[in-house]
């Protein structure tokens, strides 16, 4: 499965930028989780991945001192798009994080469709 970073209209890649800010050890753990997503695709389950809502999933990783999450979605069945990441500080994934991923998904689908129609 192809795994790509969501890129907004200003060419920013929130998930990539998040990864770059992690410590070396935490970044290495999350990169391994991303590689596992690429290998297993939509067959990846807990504890590495969990469905949230509205076809948004979380890639889960335990960091040195925290819980690291990257939210993602599938596109056309064979592509996983990494929306953005955050450090989880509560038991539940905050709604605002899921809402951000939903907005990124809609933006990605809209812009990808526009490219297809050219």
Q: Alpha helix (H) ranges present in 1-118?
A: 14-21, 24-40, 95-116
Is pLDDT larger for residue 117 or for residue 44?
44
pLDDT at site 114: 63
Give the span between the Cα atoms of 99 and 84, in whole angstroms: 11
Provide the β-strand partners of residue 69.
Answer: 60, 86
pLDDT at site 2: 95
For residue 94, CA distances in Å to 52, 76, 108 come to 10, 27, 22
pLDDT at position 117 over 70: no
pLDDT at position 104 over 80: yes
Give the mean pLDDT of the chain.
93
Domain that includes residue 112, residue range: 2-116
Give the span between the Cα atoms of 64 and 41, in whole angstroms: 26
CATH number at residue 69: 3.30.2310.20
Is pLDDT larger for residue 103 or for residue 78?
103
Domains of the chain: total: 1
Q: What is the pLDDT of residues 49-90, one digit of tens each?
A: 999 999 999 999 998 889 999 999 999 878 999 999 999 988
Q: With H, G, I as helix, E, B as strand and everything else as coil, classify residue 96.
A: helix
pLDDT at position 118 over 90: no
């Amino acid at each position: 499965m192809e795994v790509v970073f969501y890129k907004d209209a200003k060419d920013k890649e929130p998930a990539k930028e998040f990864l770059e800010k992690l410590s070396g050890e935490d970044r290495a753990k999350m990169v391994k989780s991303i590689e596992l997503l690429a290998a297993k695709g939509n067959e990846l389950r807990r504890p590495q991945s969990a469905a949230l809502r509205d076809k948004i999933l979380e890639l889960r990783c335990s960091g040195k001192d925290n819980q690291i999450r990257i939210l993602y979605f599938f596109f056309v069945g064979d592509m996983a798009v990494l929306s953005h990441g955050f450090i989880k500080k509560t038991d539940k994934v905050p709604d605002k994080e899921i809402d951000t991923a939903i907005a990124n998904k809609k933006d990605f689908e809209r812009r990808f469709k526009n490219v297809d129609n050219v």
